[in-house]
Structure formats: C-alpha cells, structure tokens
A and B are shown apart, each in its own frame.
Chain A
C-alpha cells in the first residue's frame, strides 16, 4: 500500500486530505469526528472578530438530476466567541497530535493580526492560513479577497503575520483576479510558507423567478457569494497548474476547488499540489467520503507503481503548456462502437449543427477516397435492428472530441489516433520557421 503521508512546509499529515476552512471545520466536535473518520488535516473555519450570519446563506447550481454541481455561500467567518474556538483547537490538537491542524485567520489591523496569531500559536496549532480569499461580505469590510486581489496590500498584511508567526504561514488566494501568478508571486516574495487555492469565486447562485430575488434569498434581497463545488474544479485546476509548473513558485501548494473524490485529488496533486482541501463534497455527503478518497488514491498509486503520493506530485505539470507549443500534426478521429450505439443520435445532431458535420446515419453517401471504418457495420446493424446507428467520415472529422462528450453511453465513442506518422510541429515551430500563416488569412 502506497504511503499517503505528506509534509507541507514542515507540517506533517497522515494523508493529503484536509478539510477546508468552512462550515465543516466550525468546531472541535466536527474536526475531531472528521479526524476519526480518516481526514488527515483540517483548516479551522476562519477566526476573527465574530460576525452575524444571515438566513438563508447557501445557494446551489443543480444541473439536470445532479444536485449541487455548483455551490454558493454568503456565510461569513466564525460566529462563535474566539475563546471557545481557541479552547477547542487546543483540545483537538492535544487529542490528535499526528493530524495537521491549521487555523484560518482574518482580521483588519496590524495589532489585531499580531494578537490573533499569538493566541493561535498558543493553542499548539500546526500552522495558520491567512484568509485573503473570501469574496463576499468580509471583502466589503476591507478583508478577505480585498487583500488577496491587491498584491501590494497582500504583501503588507502578510508581512505583519510573518513578522510574528513562529509556525508556518499559508496564504489562501482568491481566484477573483486576472492572473493568479501575480498574487502568488507576491505571497512567495513576502515569505509565505505555502499557498492555498482557490478560495471561492464571486457569484450569484441564480434568481428566484417567482420572487425575482437572487439566491440565496434573504427576505426580499440577496448578495453575491462565493462559488465552489464540482463546477469550479476546472478553474481551480488551471490556477493550481499555473503555479505548479512555474519554477518561481517555490513553496508547497494546497489545492482547493471542487474536490470530491480521490480522482479529483490525484489531478490536483499531479498538477503540483502537496495537499488538497475539501469542503462542498463533505457538505453534500458528510465526512465519510474520505474513506474512498484514501482507499482510491492508494489503489491508484499502487496500480501506477508509485510507492508514495509524493511521487505523483507535479507529474502532469510539465504537460500543461501554452497553446503555441501543442502538436498541430497530432490528429484523432471519432470512432463509434457500432454495437454499443443506442441510436439517440445526439452525436449526429451535435456534429451537424455545431461541428464538422462528419457523423452520418444509414446509407448517407461517402465521397470517393474518404474513410469511414464503421460505415458498413453501422448500416448493417441499422437494417437489422432499426436502431439509428451513427458512423463517422474520418476525412471530414476534425477530431474535435465533441461527440465523445455528448454520447451518453460510456465507451461508445472513443478518439482513435489518425496522425499517420506526421512529425511534431507546433505553432511556435511555425513562427520560428516563418510558416505561421493560414491560407486565406489576413497576412496570406
């Protein structure tokens, strides 16, 4: 069984699965139960000057029959007395010395920062995470993403923290910026020991079309919240990947954003994350999801012959390149499994209306010289069963991949290599060779 333990800026954890600073880590009771169920670490829900929350405060994006594909909250930081929080943190760390316990903090003035950091250190916590990411409520008060979105302010406030902290300081970044590298490099420059990203994305969850008030509805009003959940994973992966591949990012990364399974976690780790943080999935299904995260990641690493999760870290970061470095010679063509096709013709209509119009049914004529490996079999099955089996003209197919995404039948449409020996050539190669022109273009 692969070793899942990690070390993050000096903080050790039995596995890379941490609960993110959020409602699941609001109390000692919750965090201790989570540790009992297998979570390797937790970032305590942000402490600061306690706030008042609204009712309601969560909104969600449901897509078809999938609940909570995206999730949105307008909840603020802790609403419990600081002393109660510190007492429970101290108790939790004492009972779970091997687990990573990090405390998220957010206050306003230098004095407040330095005082709350000192009180956190006194609990025995392993590290602190500066909440420079919250994009709702707190940012209106000059905190959260108001700090994370301004690199100079970020450096000043982080500097106050780093000046007094004797334990590792992570900075949690907001994705509500044009280029994530700007705040990330500022954080590294000022001396942060680690980066957590992404915090939530500024959002409105939807609009109640009866009340004509956005979600979540608070009386007759709503406000912008922070967006998270499975739908944000691609955005988070891009940002983690952007840091993971950049040699200037010399500190460990804790990946956050839509992680619900070991596969999600493995993807973040492969792009450079050392640990991952989870919130929405736990809010959807409870802490028990960590069992399969541990089991699945371990089995995956075993199947790849990796002895430790550390071997996976960053393994996909190098393959994340600029568009200009992609191989323009590489070509795939859609391959529809005649026997698996159920005849829904979703691929047909999607390709016809929005792509190359290369998917056909029945005895649609095949131009001379075109290849359609499955045409005869598709026609035969359609004749025998009446099912509208589709087939692909490989010489019309651009290899866009759309059909394989719309097909509801797993494994029915795959993309087959049709490169046929053409050598690697990228757009940047063409620029270098002076052949970066497309016939009929502006500069032809």
Chain B
C-alpha cells in the first residue's frame, strides 16, 4: 500500500478539505422520508435516463422499507461505481431530470443521487458492500485493466466477480482516476473516492499503482500474460492556449490545479485576490466554483463564445454565479502579462485586460494517442479516440477492449457503463459460463 492509499487518511493539510459537502448524506429518517416521496413508477423514466440502467424505483423503495443492504445491492449490480455516481452524476440532466415530478410541477424531483449515495455509503462504512454481490468460482482467466479510473474499476470489479484474476495498472500513486484527482470537493472528497476503490479491491481485484504501461510494462508483455486487456487510460495533460506568457508561475492547467488542490499537502491559494478561469466547460465551472469556495475574492470565467454555447451545465453555471463567479463572454485570451516573473493579468484579443494573480486554463485535455496506438490492432479515430464497437468497446485486436475517456466518454457514469459492457463482452469472448445472477447483467 502506498501512503495515503484507500483505507488510510491522506496527509493534511489539503485545500479540498476546506470545502464542505454541498449535499450532505441523508440521515436514516430523512432518507426514508425522501424515499417515501417516490411514486415507484412502472417502467420508470429515471431508469431509462440512467446510462447504467440502475433499477431506481426498486432501490428507492428498499430504502423506504429499511432494506438498505438490498438497496445497495440493486445499485451496485447495475453500477459498481454507484457510490461515486450518486455523488458526482449530473442528476439534473439524467435520472432526476427524467423524474415524473418534473412534468407535474407539484414538488421537486426525487433526490435520486443523494438516496443512491445514502444506500451505498452505509454498506461501504460497515464493510458489507463487497459481500452483497454474487461471485463465481475462480476460473483461472487473467485480465489486465490499464488505468484505475471509473471505467477500469467497473470492468475489473465485474470480471473479478465472474471469477477472473484481474490486475489493474495505474501510473499514479493513487487509484480512482478523476474521482480521486478531479471531482469537485463539494461533491466528493478524495478519501470517499478511495473508499470506493477499496470496495473494488475487496471484490478481488489486484491494484498495482505506480506502474505505467508503456514505461514499466510493455503492451506486448501485457497481452502475452493476460487473456484480455481493457484499456481505460483516461486523458492526457491539460490543453495549452499556446499564447505568450503561458509558461511561468500563476498559469496552470485546470486538471493539474484541481489535482494539486485535492491531494497536495500545503498547496495554497492564499494571496490570490483575482483569479481567471479560461474555458466554458464543466471543468472550468468546477475550477471557478472551487476558487470561489476557497475564498478567492474575485473569480472570473473567460469564455470565447456566448453563454448559450457553453458546454458546461446551466445548473452549474447558476450555482457558480450564486457563489460570486463572473462570466465574461466572447473573451479570447491573446497573452498573459507578467510583472517581473509574477503573473499580472491576461489580455484579450479585443484589448480588454483582466488583472489576476492566478489563471487556470480549462480548455480541454490531450488524448493519450501514443499509449492507445502502442497496442496492436487499436486504431484511432480522427478525434484521437480509440475506434471501437460502441456497444462493447471491442477493437481490431481480439484481446483488447477500450472504454472511458479513451473512447470519448464524458461522465463517471458513462465510464462505468463502458466498463460493464466491456466486462460482458470479455466474459463472452472468454467463454465464461453464464450466471443468472451475474451483477454485470443488471441494468442497461
């Protein structure tokens, strides 16, 4: 176990711990009361809206009856990452957005995410989560998963339950992927994401951190030693603007800044009075909200087009504004200006100047094209993603499947579904015996 791995507290102080949970876990009584509001729809639209197809009315009804373990089993069967999904899913545009209460206009939609978190958190806390799911006997088949983010964790967990010997390779010191390094702290702290990693480990998955495929392990070796390989390496580094002054203190890529804010002891924003976040996506919104919550007095988002074109969620923008974040539209940075070495501000193409001590560039992430392409039979599409059969993640190589951000996924929940679909396809390809109660068969 590396220091700070799942099950042990991470070293303090870390900035993210200063940010409280925006939606704290329900108390048992409040969870039952919220569950009792659910109409228990037949053929429910929330289930259709869930990328993993969790049987939402069933798990909610079980909370209502006090059957929390049964509820968690329903959730985890369809989505092994059901815990983090309950906390980070944009439920407003998924399950809760489809709740029949929306069309009724009588009361708000059911807090499905919070209920999902409630049920799974109880079983993560008492350590029973990994005992809830049906397991096959070991079958001697070996599977490698590259990357330890949500897609890999799901694929690895499902195949471990089918009896495979699964090894996860993660180049970072911590497994969990963006759930650990990137989720906004008001949704989930890193330690909670690590508790979910510990659950997947308890399903029988071997997790090897600090091992980079392509550097420490060659693709050919991986393929030789395993019956199947699932690639979910995530994305590369933050995309650069490529403008003057970008290199130097005060300018950081968004995912790099967020990772340090969440995990690095002693990392600080003290002294930052004005921060700009460049970009209009959800990562930009996360960074802006985090800065505001950390007490930066003036946080400005600079977006090159208009609000309507933003890829970030409208509900997140509304919350950001409530927290004091300003959005400046049609703002195309031309250069960073510096005073001595220190960042002084950012100048836009139209001549506007925004003074700032911190600039966060949130305009996307690179693709890990080299890693993907280093595997035989894995072709890339024009966007730099792996070309796969979308239904299974299958590639041109009979032993390789790809999922998660590597195929252009965008949410934890879609990554988890990628992992589940790949697990089903791998199980089929390996000729594993079908089991009526295989967790991976639940949901979509």
Contacts and interface: CB of A to CB of B under 8 A. Distances in A.
Contacts of B100: 342-344, 387
B36 A349 contact: no
B104 A65 contact: no
Interface in A322-375: 342-346, 348-349, 361
Interface string A371-392: 0000000000000011110000
A441 interface: no
Interface string A296-325: 000000000000000000000000000000
A408 interface: yes
Which one of B33, B37, B104 has the greatest number of beta carbons of chain A within 10 Å?
Answer: B104
B43 interface: yes
B322 interface: no
Interface string B40-76: 1111110000000000000000001000000000000
A343, A361, A387: most-surrounded residue (chain B CB, <10 A):
A343
Contacts of A408: 39
Interface string A236-251: 0000000000000000
Contacts of B33: 65
B103 A349 contact: no
B103 A342 contact: yes
Interface in B184-224: none
Nearest to A408: B39
Interface in A35-71: 64-65
B37 A346 contact: no
A346 B43 contact: no
Nearest to B41: A344
A346 B36 contact: no
A218 interface: no
Given A64-B36, A65-B36, A346 B104 contact: no
A44 B36 CA distance: 38
Q: In the complex, which range does the number of interface residues on chain B fall in?
A: 10 to 19
A409 interface: yes
Contacts of B37: 65
A346 B45 contact: no
Interface string B368-405: 00000000000000000000000000000000000000
B166 to A, nearest CB: 39
Interface in B3-42: 33, 36-37, 39-42
Contacts of B36: 64-65
Contacts of B44: 344
Contact of A388 (B39, B40, B43, B104): B43
Contact of B42 (A65, A342, A349): A349
Contacts of A65: 33, 36-37
Nearest to B104: A342
B103 A344 contact: no
Contacts of A385: 103
A377 B92 CA distance: 29
B45 A409 contact: no
A346 B40 contact: yes
Nearest to A66: B36
Contacts of A64: 36, 64
Contact of A409 (B40, B41, B64, B104): B104
B43 A345 contact: yes
Closest 6 CB pairs of A and B: A349-B42, A345-B42, A344-B41, A64-B36, A342-B100, A65-B36
9 contacts: A65-B33, A65-B37, A343-B100, A343-B103, A344-B39, A344-B44, A346-B42, A408-B39, A409-B104
